[in-house]
Structure 1
Amino acid sequence: MDRRKFIKASGLATGAVAAVATPAIAQSLPKVTWRLTSSYPKSLDTLYGLSTHLAKRVAEATDNQFQIQTFAAGEIVPALQALDAVQNGTVECSHTLSSFYIGKDPAFAFDTSMPFGLNTRQQNAWLHQGGGLELVRDFMKSYNVHVIPSGNTGAQMGGWFRKEIKSVADLRGLKFRIAGLGGTILARLGVVPQQIGGGDIYPALERGTIDAAEFSGPHDDEKLGFQKVAKYYYYPGWWEGCANVSFFINMEKWNGLPAAYKAVLEAACAETLLLSIAKYDNQNPDALFRLVANGAELRGFPQDVMQAAFKEAQALYGELAASNPNFKKFYDSWLPYWKKEQVWFRVAELPFDAFVSQQAQSR
């Protein structure tokens, strides 16, 4: 064969293969467009940022064939209606805290965190290795939702107060914005818990509709401006030793995805979880320094408050386990796991952390 004709023919063939291959690959990835409603305002680059980062990674991994449009709290539905919106198909997915929905069933709390419960690493271990996620997903089926862990705040602060809390007596009648079972426990100590979405807390605190508010930690709290209307900043946030943020997906939409897209979502959620912890651990110290420099007064909760709250928490868990089959199913898995993790961390993690922290103070 003539050499020029061979090269020309080969080039045509290569071009033909490329022309055929590209559409074939594209055709293997169906076009999917979802809407995501977040329970958080856009001002929170951490919690709302989970959604934008997830959407970006999903699009990149699928040649933009799988697109997720992100909407802040209130743009489609209010912050605390994210579960309902996913359940009834108003949107395909959401980023939210399961603990917002304990009014439907207190068992929702286990997915986020339990007061005096597991820390961030322990919660991840229970969910991913200890059978927790299987329990969460089985429970959520009745709400037409598939769940993927997709973020975590780490240990939280105890919130912002207009007046000092010197004893349990100071809690009586206090109107306190607090979500989850922490509010239920504090109500047993005389607090009047208020559940308010993140973007609505500042005006409520400024107007005096509430006397105190907790949200997350220094980075988020500074962005929401709480230090301008309440100066006493308490710790620890014993009701949230961590807060696992969940990616809720409408069950029909999840079941309708190709296996490749399901894998992409699982991987993207795992990445957002890792990066959210890193971001909070990186940004919270500097934010705390700024808050204190600008007048925030750090206070530790008095021991009688901590002890009374712990006692009420244990009593509440026992009552719920006796009366609520869903709660009992979770609790029977969670309680022995919690005990086991405390032993391990008391042996290895806590002595190391305590010693290093003490040395850092003297440097």
Structure 2
Amino acid sequence: MTDITSKIENKGSARRRGFLRTLAVSAAVSVTMLASSVQAATTWKIQSVWDAGTVGYDLFKEWCDGMEEKTGGELKFTCFPAKAVAADNNGLFDAVRNGVLQGMNPFTLYWSGKIPASVFLSSYPAGPDQPHQWDTMFYSLGMLEKTREIYKKFGLFYVGPIQHDANIIHSKEPINSLADLKGLKMRLPGGMVAEVFAEFGVAAVSLPGSDIFPALEKGTIDAADYVGPAVNWELGFSQVTKYILMGPPGVMSVYQPVDLMDLTVNLRAWNALDPKLQQMVEDEVRIYSQKHYLAIQKRNIEAMEKFKAAGTTVTRLSQEDLQEFRRAAIPVWYRWADKNEDAREIFDMQLNYMMNDTVGYITEEDIKGMK
């Protein structure tokens, strides 16, 4: 009996040892898989051009913070405000190209000196002036694919446009028509915008956003373009100006009515992502574009009530003013389109769209003699 009992106990011990070995192996495999999963997670550092504490930055950071959960932990976006890593716009562009940052959230127009075609990748004086027109050109007429082709030459991948807002002008004196622009010193973004305003006698002054308030306060400038009401209210423009200039009813701005931002990333970082993850990021940018735009529009409505309560008066250009502004802008369009082949290709795409009867902004007569 003793031998039988001993054999039974030995078999039980063997089974327990086998079970423990299996458990240990399973645990080791689980740890290895977990470590592999952690190692596979990708983190991107992305810098926005929004300052910390602004509505623009808060919206973008909220979106970035949600990316890790949406991708099941595969991709994490670490968001930085303006100047946190790259000190200025030139530095930001280079930091993403060189991989110091994996992405950026700029206003697309910032790169007009580096990528001439970028002046046509966001709204410009008297061009397409409705957000849906820009979505149509990017997502239905081939402009997104062409934009990516252009950015690839710089080691960048243009993920997609982000709808933001219209730009408006704050002034010390009322501007009731284009004739009232003559002789004004105005903060403008430069490039095509400054060239068109120069046609109406405006002396353009280039200033970063942080310098606009003191320049208006000291009288260094008479008026200033900046973004929309929501942000401009936060910057205190109602304290140093009495008037806001807009376009005809339904058009908040005649010179930058659809000021687009975007998400642009390092090309190598993009190519390292799984195709399914790439598609997810593209889809999320389109979702965020609408979310950002609608949030800003709500804030604009609230801000305009605050401007009104503070004594600010809105003046509007007429439909006739808009047509005159467009006539002055068309030759400037062509000058910028002639800067290189990419700019011309993007412009031609947009010109065909504006001449289509679904839009009807431009006629053959308007561009007669233009090349």
Pick the TM interval, shorter chain.
0.7 to 0.9
Find the counterpart in structure 2 of residue 229 from structure 1.
240
| Equivalent residues in 2 for 1:80-91, closer than 5 Å | 80-81=89-90, 82-91=92-101
Do the aligned residues in 2 keep the contact of 1:149 with 1:269 (CA within 8 Å)? yes
Match of 1:138 among 143, 149, 157: 149
C-alpha change, 1:24 and 1:150, in structure 2 (3 Å) is farther
Find the counterpart in structure 2 of residue 184 from structure 1.
195
Higher helix share: 1
Residue 67 of structure 1 and its aligned partner are, at CA, apart by 2.6
TM-score computed with the length of structure 1 as normaliser:
0.81
User: Which secondary structure does the structure 2 equivalent of 1:153 belong to?
Assistant: strand
Whole-angstrom CA distance in 2 between matches of 1:314 and 1:61: 44
Find the counterpart in structure 2 of residue 99 from structure 1.
109
The 10-residue stretch of structure 1 (22-31 or 48-57) with the greater mean CA deviation from structure 2: 22-31
Whole-angstrom CA distance in 2 between matches of 1:218 and 1:239: 16
Task: Encode CA deviations 1:178-233: one digit per residue, 9 max, x unaligned.
Answer: 23532221123222333434344323333333322222222111112111111111
Find the counterpart in structure 2 of residue 71 from structure 1.
80
The 10-residue stretch of structure 1 (161-170 or 137-146) with the greater mean CA deviation from structure 2: 161-170
1:175 partnered with 2:185 = yes
Do the aligned residues in 2 keep the contact of 1:116 with 1:310 (CA within 8 Å)? yes
C-alpha change, 1:62 and 1:13, in structure 2 (3 Å) is farther
TM-score computed with the length of structure 2 as normaliser:
0.80
Identity, % of aligned pairs? 25
User: Which secondary structure does the structure 2 equivalent of 1:313 belong to?
Assistant: helix
Residue 117 of structure 1 and its aligned partner are, at CA, apart by 2.4
Query: Structure 2: which amino acid aligns with 1:270?
Result: R
Find the counterpart in structure 2 of residue 219 from structure 1.
230
Residue 93 of structure 1 and its aligned partner are, at CA, apart by 0.9
C-alpha change, 1:259 and 1:322, in structure 2 (3 Å) is closer
Match of 1:111 among 109, 121, 132: 121
Whole-angstrom CA distance in 2 between matches of 1:14 and 1:340: 70
Superposed CA RMSD in Å reads 3.3
C-alpha change, 1:321 and 1:292, in structure 2 (3 Å) is same
Whole-angstrom CA distance in 2 between matches of 1:312 and 1:122: 22
1:206 partnered with 2:217 = yes
Gaps (5+ residues) in structure 1?
A: 1-8, 346-363
Residue 136 of structure 1 and its aligned partner are, at CA, apart by 0.9
Find the counterpart in structure 2 of residue 163 from structure 1.
173
Do the aligned residues in 2 keep the contact of 1:50 with 1:151 (CA within 8 Å)? no
Find the counterpart in structure 1 of residue 290 from structure 2.
274
Residue 259 of structure 1 and its aligned partner are, at CA, apart by 2.6
Whole-angstrom CA distance in 2 between matches of 1:195 and 1:294: 27
The 10-residue stretch of structure 1 (130-139 or 252-261) with the greater mean CA deviation from structure 2: 252-261
Task: Encode CA deviations 1:259-289: one digit per residue, 9 max, x unaligned.
Answer: 3432332132122111012212322212211
Whole-angstrom CA distance in 1 between matches of 2:29 and 2:161: 38
Whole-angstrom CA distance in 1 between matches of 2:357 and 2:68: 38
C-alpha change, 1:198 and 1:63, in structure 2 (3 Å) is farther
1:27 partnered with 2:39 = no
Find the counterpart in structure 1 of residue 332 from structure 2.
316
Do the aligned residues in 2 keep the contact of 1:40 with 1:197 (CA within 8 Å)? no
User: Which secondary structure does the structure 2 equivalent of 1:247 belong to?
Assistant: strand
C-alpha change, 1:131 and 1:150, in structure 2 (3 Å) is closer
Find the counterpart in structure 1 of residue 316 from structure 2.
300
C-alpha change, 1:197 and 1:58, in structure 2 (3 Å) is farther
Gaps (5+ residues) in structure 2?
A: 1-17, 248-252, 362-371
Find the counterpart in structure 2 of residue 40 from structure 1.
50
The 10-residue stretch of structure 1 (212-221 or 327-336) with the greater mean CA deviation from structure 2: 212-221
C-alpha change, 1:149 and 1:16, in structure 2 (3 Å) is same
Find the counterpart in structure 2 of residue 325 from structure 1.
341
1:256 partnered with 2:265 = no
C-alpha change, 1:212 and 1:112, in structure 2 (3 Å) is same
Task: Encode CA deviations 1:286-343: one digit per residue, 9 max, x unaligned.
Answer: 2211211111111112566534321121111233334532221111211112233744
Whole-angstrom CA distance in 1 between matches of 2:27 and 2:170: 62
Match of 2:204 among 157, 180, 193: 193
Select the structure of larger CA radius of gyration: 2
Size of the alignment, in residue pairs? 340
Whole-angstrom CA distance in 2 between matches of 1:221 and 1:23: 53
Whole-angstrom CA distance in 1 between matches of 2:203 and 2:226: 16
Find the counterpart in structure 2 of residue 6 from structure 1.
none
The 10-residue stretch of structure 1 (189-198 or 106-115) with the greater mean CA deviation from structure 2: 189-198
